[in-house]
């Protein structure tokens, strides 16, 4: 479904501060699966999502989505198939618009529109139903500006918006990291529900190993721009992952 071939990405090319983040990275993702991506700070998880979404361009290599080469496609074009939720609960929504306006915008992603015309009665009813299904009372805040929502409410809204147009690929970058344990658990459960219902292929970056294992089919660890661990999540114990982190830490201090 997603094929990454010999992907190369460096920052600050030809300068002293040159940093090679990926050198010949290969990765194949099967359709309708959720893959957790873990790895230490700075190992390239967000950069990988940025490359896939088109937020930054690859130096070399190819990114194929359902057999189509999207390596050089603009981010806006890819957005019709690829949705993203960021770690920061402010980043995936428009803070000065209401819940209703944000939903209407997500509903018309990639189309020309007039926001007022968009918010028609039948759409509003549809949005209220979706919000109700989240069970956190967001339907009562439909005319509230998003800047007045809590982090958990904003991430729930971001997730609904990201899944609204049935993307082929959903990119979650530590999307529950800023939430308290209860809100995080709720957003993760809702994520699972939406992914399963709409059969969305998902990449989920997380530093929470337990969540990464519980909510994925496959777990991948990146380190030094390479995949250093790649297994079906059901076959992995949390302690195995912690042991790898410990080993990496030892290597780092030894060098």
Ligand X SMILES: Nc1ncnc2c1ncn2[C@@H]1O[C@H](COP(=O)(O)OP(=O)(O)OP(=O)(O)O)[C@@H](O)[C@H]1O
Please select the residue that binds ligand X; options are 4, 36, 38, 47, rule is CB under 6 A.
47
| 15 near ligand X, rule: CB under 6 A | no
9 vs 45, beta carbon nearer Mg ion: 45
Q: Mutual orientation of helices 99-107 and 151-163 as an angle, nearest 10°?
A: 20
Binding at 148: pick from ligand X, Mg ion, none (beta carbon under 5-8 Å per type): none
Contacts to ligand X from residues 178-217, by CB under 6 A: none
* Closest separation in Å from C-beta 9 to ligand X: 8
- Which tokens belong to 191? 């994520």
Q: Give the closest residue to 206 by CA, choosing from 191, 225, 193, 195.
A: 191
Stretch that binds Mg ion, among 40-48, 125-133, 141-149, 225-233 (CB under 5 A): 40-48
> 204: part of which helix (H) or strand (E)?
strand 201-205
Where do the H-state alpha helices sit in the chain? 45-53, 75-78, 99-107, 115-118, 121-134, 151-163, 181-198, 209-214, 238-254
| 43 near ligand X, rule: CB under 6 A | yes
* Closest separation in Å from C-beta 241 to ligand X: 15
Q: Mutual orientation of helices 99-107 and 121-134 as an angle, nearest 10°?
A: 110
Interface residues with Mg ion (CB under 5 A) are: 45-46
- Residues in the site for ligand X, rule: CB under 6 A? 11-12, 19, 21, 39, 41-47
């Amino acid at each position: 479904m997603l094929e990454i071939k010999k992907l190369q990405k460096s920052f600050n090319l030809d300068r002293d501060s040159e940093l090679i983040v990926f050198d010949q990275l290969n990765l194949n993702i099967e359709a309708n699966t959720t893959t957790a991506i873990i790895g230490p700070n700075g190992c390239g998880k967000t950069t990988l999502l940025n490359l896939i979404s088109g937020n930054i361009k690859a130096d070399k290599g190819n990114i194929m989505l359902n057999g189509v080469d999207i390596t050089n496609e603009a981010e806006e074009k890819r957005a019709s198939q690829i949705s993203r939720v960021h770690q920061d609960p402010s980043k995936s929504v428009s803070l000065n618009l209401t819940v209703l306006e944000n939903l209407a915008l997500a509903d018309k992603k990639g189309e020309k529109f007039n926001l007022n015309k968009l918010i028609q009665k039948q759409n509003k009813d549809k949005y209220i139903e979706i919000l109700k299904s989240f069970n956190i009372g967001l339907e009562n805040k439909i005319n509230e500006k998003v800047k007045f929502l809590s982090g958990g409410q904003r991430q729930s809204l971001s997730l609904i918006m990201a899944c609204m147009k049935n993307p082929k690929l959903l990119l979650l970058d530590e999307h529950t990291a800023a939430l308290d344990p209860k809100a995080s658990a709720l957003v993760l459960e809702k994520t699972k529900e939406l992914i399963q219902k709409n059969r969305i292929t998902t990449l989920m970056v997380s530093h929470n190993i337990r969540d990464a294992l519980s909510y994925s089919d496959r777990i991948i660890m990146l380190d030094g721009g390479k995949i250093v661990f790649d297994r079906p999540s059901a076959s992995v114990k949390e302690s195995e992952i912690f042991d790898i982190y410990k080993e990496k830490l030892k290597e780092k201090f030894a060098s």
